[in-house]
Copies of this chain bind each other. A is one copy, B any other.
Amino acid sequence: MARMVMERADVLPALGEVFREYGFEGASLALITERTGLGKGSLYHFFPGGKEEMARAVLAEIDGWFEAHVFQPLRAGEDPRAAVAAMLADISAYFRSGRRVCLVGLFALGDVRSRFAAAVHGYFARWRDALADALARAGHDPAEAADLAEEAVAAIQGALVLARALDDPGAFARMEARLRRRLLPWA
């Protein structure tokens, strides 16, 4: 039977959603308390560093998820073309076709970027490089693979902005189709 006690990792999803919806500044402790169901005492017990440590933990969890489900398969997968196709499907599900925001991208635009610069940089650099690796192994010219990878990562972030701005998940879906054609022209 599952433990009934709260663990640090248990609140990370709710914590992530609060930061996603309201940003770092906008995510007040009152809001966090409400959405996680944990009082301030518990929150500061799990995260003695306060909001900054909470955000850092959320970023680490997100990074871990992408590393395991996206980056690693791209780098180490036997079938790089399948890995690229899987990436597109995974990120579409993860970002709920543009209805969900990328917290790392949001932090990159805000003033908190300097505070989490290393995490933000690492996330995007590793994504780009892992994708470039897969694209090169899939048959693209290495230089073209690097260019395509950068374009794809940027396109995903741009589609998230546009889909939310226009309130149209279709914008995200069309970006996905476009990338599929461009990254996997063999299919």
Any B CB within 8 A of the CB of A166: yes
**B153 touching A162, Cβ below 8 Å:** yes
Chain B CB within 10 Å — which of A109, A117, A125, A153 has the most? A109
Instruction: Report Cα–Cα, A167/B113, bound state, in Å.
Output: 10
**A147 touching B178, Cβ below 8 Å:** yes
Instruction: Report Cα–Cα, A166/B125, bound state, in Å.
Output: 7
Instruction: Report Cα–Cα, A150/B178, bound state, in Å.
Output: 11
Report which of B26, B159, B165 forms a contact with A158, defined as CB distance below 8 A: B159
Contact digits for A1-28, partner B, Cβ 8 Å, 1 yes 0 no: 0000000000000000000011101100
- Stoichiometry, copies per complex: 2
Q: Kindly report which residue of chain B lies nearest to residue A154, judged by CB atoms.
A: B158
Any B CB within 8 A of the CB of A155: yes
The stretch of A33-41, A78-86, A98-106, A132-140 in contact with B is: A98-106
Ordered by A's residue number, 29 sampled pairs between the chains whose C-beta atoms are within 8 Å are A22-B110, A22-B111, A25-B25, A26-B110, A105-B161, A105-B165, A106-B109, A106-B110, A108-B161, A109-B160, A109-B161, A109-B164, A113-B164, A113-B165, A117-B167, A121-B167, A124-B165, A150-B174, A151-B155, A154-B155, A154-B159, A154-B162, A154-B171, A154-B175, A155-B155, A157-B158, A157-B161, A158-B158, A161-B161
